[in-house]
Amino acid sequence: MKETKAVNQEAVFEKLPVPSALRVMVVPAVVSQLIVLIYNMADTFYVGQTGNPYMVAGTSLILPIFNITLCLAGLAGVGGGALISRLLGENKREEARRVSAFSLYLGICIAAVFSLGTGIFMRPLLEFLGAGENTYGYASQYAFCVIVLGGVPTVLSNVLSNLIRSVGCSREAGAGIMLGGILNIALDPLFMFVLLPDGQEVLGAGIATCLSNCIACLFFLAVLARIGKESGITFSPRAGRPERESIVSVFSVGIPSAVSSFLFDVDYMIIDRLMVSYHDLALAAIGIVLKVERFPLNVGIGICQGMLPLVAYSYGARKKKRMDDTIRLARRTGLIIAGLSILLYELFAGQLIQVFISDAKTVELGTNFLRARVLATPLMFLSFFTVYLFQAFGRGEKSLFLGVARWLAFNIPMLFILNGMFGMYGIVWSQVTADTLTVLLSFYVYRKYKPKL
């Protein structure tokens, strides 16, 4: 089994033609990203079937906290995964094992502290997020299950997914994420409407989410045991502590990843807050659009996730041609998908909005919003594609600069500027305007600081 694993790893990173290697790595990552997107909507959808707006509001309040747990997972998983792929390319397998153990325990410790803090400061935290007399009980039930009890397995699952993908096992990494998502979708109605009594639907949704993440975590641990230490990943602390340079590298790439993910969520929250100043229909329309537009974006993220280990390994192994071929093909694939999404959304925007709501005025607003926002899809792909490249190169300071510049220098200020100048349609068009500037900056930084092999 170990010998077969080593052969498969060598085939993906060195022997397979670039298109085949990219397909092996990207397809599972893309599918898992789409499942995650659907799974993130599942709790809200099922809770919405109760017809209780306070239940819906209570679960929605927890989304920012849950997203922070995913940011924490990115800190350990993305930082550790990118470094492991480079170390394998440099044939430093023992150091890769030490980095994997460090990343896993880092993720566990961070998640445990965050979950404990959430449990201790539950009331002030939820009140800060807007929980009131009618929603606090539901929000606290959901947070206890998903964050306090489920925080560690959620973070550990995502860290393990990144690390397993980093050694060429993208299929296994994607399978674990898909397993958690599909289980959540299946268990939600079971716990909400069958096993628990009426009035406990939010608690049922929280239990289902926690349980599905725990099962996904067990699946990843089983994969880790199966692929063996020859893969370059281990949970054993006996692997030893990684070199100081490796620890710095984990944080230098992981922190920018976490910060960028956090600012992405902040941008969405600001859009909602600005739309509130208009009317409820505009808020409902933009809420639907922000969900629908995520499908091509999540496909792009899956392409980047599958590409990163291949680029990092080739960079570590000093195989310039293979690295450049991988970058070009991944970028071209992402842009083609972005172009197709523009075509489909421009033609069928109204029908897509009607899937979520039937109110004619809301559908009209959502159609106009979606047709404007989708034009930014190729720009958004190019923006985070460049960030992923610098993560693969281990240049965390550049990925941090681009991530922070995108959100704090361009996207978020543009929301306020265009809102003040053009109203709610200014909010909608801010994405295209801001990401045009981001792409220009990304091209300049990439051409100037791309590592020379």
104 and 146 inside one domain: yes
In a domain, 8, yes or no: no
Angle at 68 between CA 434 and CA 134, to 5 degrees: 105
Of 387, 388, 328, 377, residue with least CA distance to 349: 377
For residue 324, count other CB atoms closer than 10 A to its CB.
15
In a domain, 38, yes or no: yes
The pLDDT tens digits of the residues spanning 389-424 come to 999 998 888 988 998 899 999 999 999 999 999 988
pLDDT mean over 76-82: 88
Per the CB < 8 A criterion, the answer to whether 426 and 411 are in contact is no
167 and 287 inside one domain: no
Confidence of residue 426 (pLDDT cuts 50, 70, 90): very high
178 and 278 inside one domain: no
Cα–Cα dist 38/34, whole Å: 6
For 98, 212, 279, the CA distances from 352, given in Å and listed in that order, are 48, 29, 22
35 and 176 inside one domain: yes
| Beta carbons within 8 Å of 19's beta carbon, 6+ residues apart | 329
In a domain, 247, yes or no: no
Cα–Cα dist 323/309, whole Å: 10
109 and 128 inside one domain: yes
Q: Provide the residue range defining the domain that includes 313.
A: 253-453
51 and 196 inside one domain: yes
- 191 versus 292: the higher-pLDDT residue is 191
Per the CB < 8 A criterion, the answer to whether 85 and 100 are in contact is no
Confidence of residue 3 (pLDDT cuts 50, 70, 90): very low
223 and 308 inside one domain: no
Alpha helices, DSSP H, located in 277-376: 280-292, 294-316, 320-356, 360-373
Per the CB < 8 A criterion, the answer to whether 302 and 348 are in contact is no
Confidence of residue 252 (pLDDT cuts 50, 70, 90): confident
CA 278 vs. chain centroid, Å, equals 30
Cα–Cα dist 274/173, whole Å: 38
In a domain, 5, yes or no: no
Of 81, 161, 63, 147, residue with least CA distance to 113: 147
In a domain, 9, yes or no: no
The pLDDT tens digits of the residues spanning 5-23 come to 444 666 788 888 999 999 9
**Per-position b or e across 216-247, b if 16+ CB within 10 A of its CB:** bbebbeebbeebbbbbbbbeeeebeebeeebb
Domain count, the chain: 2
- Does residue 168 have a pLDDT over 90? no
Query: Of 217, 242, 267, which residue is a domain's last?
Result: 242
Best mean pLDDT range from 47-51, 195-199, 221-225, 436-440: 436-440
CA torsion through residues 55, 267, 379, 168, sign: negative
The pLDDT tens digits of the residues spanning 268-313 come to 778 877 887 787 677 778 877 887 888 898 899 999 989 999 999 9
pLDDT mean over 246-258: 88
For 9, 156, 453, the CA distances from 88, given in Å and listed in that order, are 10, 22, 17
For residue 328, count other CB atoms closer than 10 A to its CB.
11
In a domain, 3, yes or no: no
- First vs last Cα of the chain: how many Å apart? 35
330 and 404 inside one domain: yes
In a domain, 23, yes or no: yes
257 and 192 inside one domain: no
Whole-structure pTM value = 0.84
- Does residue 2 have a pLDDT over 70? no
202 and 310 inside one domain: no
Query: Of 202, 219, 242, which residue is a domain's last?
Result: 242
357 and 213 inside one domain: no
Per the CB < 8 A criterion, the answer to whether 33 and 302 are in contact is yes
Query: Of 242, 266, 287, which residue is a domain's last?
Result: 242
Structure tokens at 428: 């909608």
Strands (E), 239-293: none
257 and 226 inside one domain: no
